[in-house]
Amino acid sequence: MKTIITVLDDISETSMPFNEFVLYRSNHYHDEKQILIICGARGNLPKVVIPETLDIKYAGRKLSNIRKTIIETTEELKRLNTPYVIHMHQVQSGFLAEMAMLGTGFRKKVLFTVHSTFSGYKFHNKVLSFINTLLAQRTTCVSNASYQDYPEIIKQIKHDRIQALQNGVDTERIDKAIPVTHNRIPTGINFIYVARLVPIKNHKFLVDVLSRCDEKIYFTFVGAEDKEQEVRRKAKDLGVEDRISFTGLIPRNDVFALLQEADYYISSSTLEGLPVSVLEAMYCGLPCLLSDIPQHREVAGDRAIFLPFDIEKWATEINRIAELPTEERQKISQQIRSYVKDNFSLEAMHKKYDAVYELL
Q: What is the pLDDT of residues 276-297, one digit of tens each?
A: 999 999 999 999 999 999 999 9
Q: Which residues contact 122 (CB under 8 A, 6 or more apart)?
A: none
Exposed (0-12), middle (13-18) or buried (19+): which is 301, by Cβ within 10 Å?
exposed
- For residue 29, what pLDDT is reported? 94
Residues 202, 316 within the same domain? yes
Contact, 33 vs 76, CB < 8 A? Answer: no
Query: Could you tell me the sign of the dihedral formed by the alpha carbons of 24, 27, 32, 34, in that order?
Result: positive
Residue 176 pLDDT? 86
Could you tell me if 120 and 255 lie in one domain?
no
Residues 213 and 323 in one domain: yes
CATH of the domain at 242: 3.40.50.2000
**212-234 average pLDDT score:** 94
pTM score of the predicted model: 0.87
How far from the centroid of its chain's Cα atoms is residue 37's Cα? 19
Supply the range of the domain harboring residue 11. 2-168+345-358
SS3 assignment for the chain: CEEEEEEECCCCCCCHHHHHHHHHHHHHCCCEEEEEEECCCCCCCCCCCCCCCEEEEECCCCHHHHHHHHHHHHHHHHHCCCCEEEEECCHHHHHHHHHHHCCCCCHHHEEEEECCCHHHCCHHHHHHHHHHHHHCCEEEECCHHHHHHCCHHHHHHHHHHEEECCCCECHHHHHHHCCCCCCCCCCCEEEEEECCCCHHHCHHHHHHHHCCCCCCEEEEEEECCCCCCHHHHHHHHCCCHHHEEEEECCCHHHHHHHHHHCCEEEECCCCCCCCHHHHHHHHCCCCEEEECCHHHHHHHCCCCEEECCCHHHHHHHHHHHCCCCHHHHHHHHHHHHHHHHHHCEHHHHHHHHHHHHHCC
Verify that 272 and 135 share a domain, yes or no: no
Domain co-membership, 223 together with 252: yes
Mean pLDDT on 188-214: 96
pLDDT at 165 over 90: yes
Q: Give percent above pLDDT 90 in the chain.
A: 75
Question: How many other C-beta atoms lie within 10 A of the C-beta of residue 326?
Answer: 9
Question: With 80 as the cut, is the pLDDT of residue 265 above it?
Answer: yes
Residues 267 and 298 in one domain: yes
Residues with Cβ within 8 Å of 65's Cβ and at least 6 positions away in sequence, in order, are: 59
Residues 187, 202 within the same domain:
yes
CA 340 from centre of chain: 15
Q: Does one domain contain both 227 and 291?
A: yes
Tell me the pLDDT tens digit for each residue of 295-327: 999 999 999 999 999 999 999 999 999 999 888
What is the number of structural domains in the chain? 2
Please tell me whether residues 183 and 316 are part of one structural domain: yes
- Whether residue 335 sits in one domain with residue 204: yes
Same domain for 199 and 292, yes or no, is: yes
**What pLDDT, on a 0 to 100 scale, did the predictor assign at position 177?**
82
CA separation for the pair 341, 40 (Å, rounded):
35
Residue 227's pLDDT is what? 86
Residues 21-36 have a mean pLDDT of 94
Contact between 8 and 39 under an 8 Å Cβ cutoff? The reply is yes
Q: Do 111 and 8 lie in a common domain?
A: yes
- Alpha carbons within 13 angstroms on the beta-carbon side of residue 96 total 23
